[in-house]
Chain A
Amino acid sequence: MALRENGHYAIEFQDVSRRFILHHERRSSFQDWFIGLFRPRGQAEEFWALRNVTFGIRHGETFGLVGRNGAGKSTLLKLVTRILEPTSGKVRVNGRTYAMLELGAGFHPELSGRDNIFLNGSLYGFSRKDMQRKYEEIVRFAELERFVDMPVKHYSSGMFARLGFGIAVNMEPAIMVIDEVLAVGDAAFQQKCFRALDELKARGTTILFVSHDAEVVRSFCDRAALLVDGHLTDIGPAGDVVDHYEQMLHTGDQPFRLLRVRALDEYRFATEEIEGGQPLRLEVLLRVPAGRDTSGLTLQIDLDRIGGTNLWSTSCALPAELPVAEHALRRDEDDAPDTRVARLLIDRLPLGRGQLRLVASLHDPAGQLIDRTETLVTVRPTNLAQSGLLALDHTWEWEQPAATPADESPARIDSLPR
């Protein structure tokens, strides 16, 4: 994805990969080195936690991250928070970041709540003066007025969580990274946390949010991304991505399912911004159970305006065997590669600025609808001199090369594909 405007993004990943080397026989002492002098070293295995991840999170956006355990969510968060460095690619973070990867990380059990507030603030680079200003508000939020001089080792887990969260929301970070920490505490406290996060949102804080609870991502986030085995397989409006994730998790009663339709950029990365007047690549991910073929099924693609006006539709009978999706290839062998892809290339998308709904639907031989999925993309104009619904290739007559004789029509519409 070409990320053109740098200042536009709070967090930016450009073709980021992160590798971990797993030594089965790791040398971690002088003794190991000494013993290993005359012994061949065990095989090291490499593991890519993230592969070629490219995306951007805009300033002020609430962005969710979903995926199974081990899909690379935590690695991604650690790259954002500079705890890990990328093996290749570039991570750019524009703004002061506060990460809640674990509530109460950095608390010292022997110190009082008060001392821990100051210690924690300074861990994030806040001065004593900053913290004195925020102190009252933190204690008030955490409802710990009576216990603030007590060592935190005597705190209940709820008090611990309240203190950690109280510090976090009062740090006024430009970017807030939250990993799975809202699961603690009672319902009332969770509500309070979400109210506080809503306030942060209203103030324009960028929030990067990870949760196993996909419904929280759906209701709380503007946009989301889905990670599958280190690949960013989907990015888009939170609801759509969560749908995709849930489709992926549940092998439903229907043998065939549409997981996702999405637009790809020129590098074949999922994107939500496409350019009018440029080629458009669409990709449909389908779940095809092992042993079944797709012959006889029909795949239909519709491009609709937001209001529902159908701009264009096409359908095609599927071949018996569709290619396996790239991220599904890497799965363990017991996990059959059941995610298939169908791609559609539109030579030129003759649309101007606006939002476009991409709809994919799958029909059985009798024409009955099996499954349907859709997503929204934003069309950006390439030629700023044009406006309106359409983006048409055109040439003003006086721009014609001198050698060409003038045409009869005043302005000729150039219909040649580019």
Chain B
Amino acid sequence: MVSQAVEVIQYRSLIYNLVTKDLKVRYKNSVLGFVWSLLNPLLMTIVFTIVFTRLLGQTIDHFPVFVMTGLLAWNWTAASVASGTKSLIENAPLITKVYFPRIVLPASVVFSNMAHYLLAFPVIFIFMLIERMRFTPWVLYVPIIWAVQAIFLIGLTLILAAMYVYFRDTSVLVEVGITAWFFLTPIFYRVQDVAPEYEQMMYWFNPMASIIAEQHTILYYGGVPDPLFMLRTLIQSLVLVAIGLLLFNRVSPHLGEHI
């Protein structure tokens, strides 16, 4: 595992180039391309706000900020999981022609979606300013949450990418799974309001619930984060990475013939 880490560090410029490639292609090499890419979360926020506050009578104040915080973090996860799963198969022409540490492929998917997320993140601040919400110094704690989410996503995509090599319908399951997971994550509702008895269980079994809840604590409620809360999620994520590496390293030597 140490030699693997050394190798990945040697190939860090590959990760960097894959991430910038992805962003360039996504934004079509222009600033307006980036602005355009913000349309999706903005429109979704508007849709959620209308549906939940007008039609369903949701009583959460500053609803756009509440939804936006969860939605952006969720989009990072959903996009990483969906394309991370396929990252090995879709790069088959590369894998059968060049040797490089294969782990770079799912990792760069997570990082490029992270870059996209971080570029969009300031929109939350703009919404907070519009809603005249309070900024606390604890905003500086948010990068720790980002790091935990990145580790969690790397673990998850490693497992799914390895599975997808042998089971091509993994992507179908992932699609269904993402939809279910979206509804089971408190993005457009508060667990306390809906099912307070499940709140603790949700934090234990759904790292995304913890990650979003902690961002709500800091940005939406202007409260103080509990370090132990993120520590637990971090440990869960590291366990996931360990499992992911184990699985991925069993699959990756055979990639040359299996894809």
Contacts and interface: CB of A to CB of B under 8 A. Distances in A.
Nearest to B171: A29
Contacts of B93: 105-106
A20 B254 CA distance: 11
Given A106-B94, A122-B13, A127-B13, A30 B167 contact: yes
A273 to B, nearest CB: 30
B10 A29 contact: no
B166 interface: yes
Interface in B9-53: 10-11, 13-14, 16-18, 20-21, 24-25
B97 A105 contact: yes
B198 interface: no
A31 interface: yes
B256 A78 contact: yes
Q: Is the interface of A mostly helix, strand, loop or mixed?
A: loop
B16 A83 contact: no
Nearest to B11: A125
B98 A128 contact: no
B253 A125 contact: no
Contact of A82 (B24, B99, B168): B99
A31 B99 contact: no
A28 B166 contact: yes
A77 to B, nearest CB: 10
Interface in A93-114: 97, 99, 101-102, 105-106, 108, 110-111
B96 interface: yes
A83 B18 contact: no
Interface residues of A, number: 33
A33 B254 CA distance: 20
Contacts of A30: 167, 169-170, 173
Contacts of A85: 253-254, 256
B102 to A, nearest CB: 11
B138 interface: no
Contacts of A101: 97-98
Interface residues of B, number: 29
B100 A125 contact: yes
Nearest to A33: B167
Nearest to A151: B29
A102 B98 CA distance: 10
A83 B258 CA distance: 11
Contact of B11 (A102, A110, A122): A122
B9 to A, nearest CB: 10
Interface in A292-345: none
Contacts of B14: 119, 122-123, 125
Interface string A20-35: 1000000011110100
Nearest to A78: B256
Nearest to A108: B21
Interface in A50-86: 78, 81-85
Interface of A: 20, 28-31, 33, 78, 81-85, 97, 99, 101-102, 105-106, 108, 110-111, 115, 118-119, 121-128, 131
18 contacts: A20-B257, A30-B169, A83-B96, A83-B97, A85-B253, A85-B254, A97-B99, A99-B99, A102-B97, A105-B94, A105-B98, A110-B25, A111-B21, A121-B13, A122-B13, A123-B94, A125-B14, A131-B13
Interface of B: 10-11, 13-14, 16-18, 20-21, 24-25, 93-100, 166-170, 173, 253-254, 256-257
Given A28-B166, A85-B256, A119-B17, 19 more contacts: A28-B168, A29-B167, A30-B170, A30-B173, A83-B95, A83-B98, A85-B253, A106-B93, A106-B98, A111-B21, A118-B13, A119-B21, A122-B14, A122-B16, A123-B98, A125-B14, A126-B13, A127-B13, A128-B16
